[in-house]
Structure 1
């Protein structure tokens, strides 16, 4: 399938007033490559280029734009080929999801389950749905259910799904830790029924920032 005419201009319009370097920071792509995609050619070789599905996922995250629609506009998907069914998984029980090409593995307290998805459009719509279910992308292939986080160890970038920090956990990318640091503190407090005592001592342990909520008498 061919990339739709004017796709590069469309990418440029999504960027809007953001600088190339800002998008590069958000997406993990180089600013030179992002500009090449907007021009639809490699400026070093003058050859036409087309972004891969993985590149489009990074751009969809950076621009907060539908991955499915980007895939359609890039020529990977046809709107009329969309299946009527949905991927049915127990979102409320899932701790985190690891994603690869057309396959994902979701982890619960009981174990893990891998699912192969034959339809690329169904898969991309599933990824679009994760944010609505409370999942955030914490690495290139890792989506974490923030409603299940019980402990956050800042200096190690670890997220635990139990309050003692001895069970299942994931390690997030440094850039994501910087982006979601404050949100993670609030969510851990909410998920564990504690309140945050703000501290400016960065060397102290994260658990010292939390104290139990007082119950009404």
Structure 2
């Protein structure tokens, strides 16, 4: 399905009398980016832009408008697909989730599942579940399950899902490193069964030194 002609103008209409800064505060997006979306172009590069499903979810919440309808108008959902069920996945077993404009990829320890965004009719509910299941947004379209993080190389911003730090991993945004630094340490201590006392090894990764941690996050 193609994006609604004049979709940017439609977003501006949804914002109504709300100022750009108020919309930014409610959505968590920058006021400049919201205006770019309304103009359907990046004013710095003059390139055409399209909001991702994650961005649409934020705008849906900020403007109190149906997420499903917004996805439809943005060209992600067909009306006839509304009754299709999505592939069921065990959220607890997912290491991390990557969301692109066209699909969502669930990464497991030994496999991955990619699902077309068109079939995610309950995508809004799905995103709402992530926080309560231990996920944190670690980059624009990256959600990490903190229950599975086993090692953190701080200087690289790399999270590993195995203690040796040689297997699957993701690189998180610098702003998220700063925001979730202490939480990451607590989670790794809990996941590995070690204490919160750490030292930096030669690679700059954070390793535990002492007894079992009894607190949970």
TM-score calculated relative to the size of structure 1: 0.66
Distance 1:142 1:71 in 2: 21
**Which shows bigger deviation, 185-194 or 131-140?**
131-140
Corresponding residue SS for 1:196: coil
Q: How many residues align?
A: 197
Q: CA RMSD in A?
A: 4.4
Question: Which stretch shows the higher mean deviation, 114-123 or 88-97?
Answer: 114-123
Q: Distance in 2 between matches of 1:67 and 1:153?
A: 40
How far apart in 2 are the matches of 1:133 and 1:161?
Answer: 17
By percentage of residues, which structure has more helix? Answer: 1
Equivalence for 2:16: 9
Match in the other structure for 1:193: 193
Q: Is the 8 A contact 2:96 2:143 kept in 1?
A: yes
Contact between 1:189 and 1:196, CA under 8 Å: does it hold in 2? yes
Cα deviation, residue 59, structure 1: 7.1
Deviations 1:150-172 (A, max 9, x none): 11111110101111212111111
1:176 CA drift (Å)? 1.7
User: 2-side partners of 1:162 and 1:67: how far apart?
Assistant: 41
Query: Would the aligned equivalents of 1:96 and 1:108 in 2 still touch at CA under 8 Å?
Result: yes
Q: Which whole-Å CA distance do the structure 1 matches of 2:11 and 2:24 have between them?
A: 23
> CA shift at 1:82, angstroms?
4.4
Query: What's the CA shift for 1:63?
Result: 10
Query: Partner of 2:175 in structure 1?
Result: 175
Distance 2:17 2:82 in 1: 22
In structure 2, the partner of 1:213 is 212
Q: Please state if 1:133 is matched with 2:133.
A: yes
- Match in the other structure for 2:95: 95
Q: Does 1:53 align with 2:60?
A: no
Task: Note if contact 2:84-2:121 (Cα within 8 Å) is conserved in structure 1.
Answer: no
**Are 2:114 and 1:114 equivalent residues in the alignment?**
yes
**SS of aligned partner of 1:147:** coil
Gaps of 5+ in 1: 46-50
The Cα of 1:210 is off from its aligned counterpart by 4.8
In structure 2, relative to structure 1, the CA distance for the partners of 1:131 and 1:145 (3 Å cut) is same
Report the alpha carbon displacement of residue 142 of structure 1 after superposing the two structures with TM.
Answer: 1.9
The offset of 1:95, in angstroms, is: 1.0
> How far off its partner does 1:57 sit?
2.6
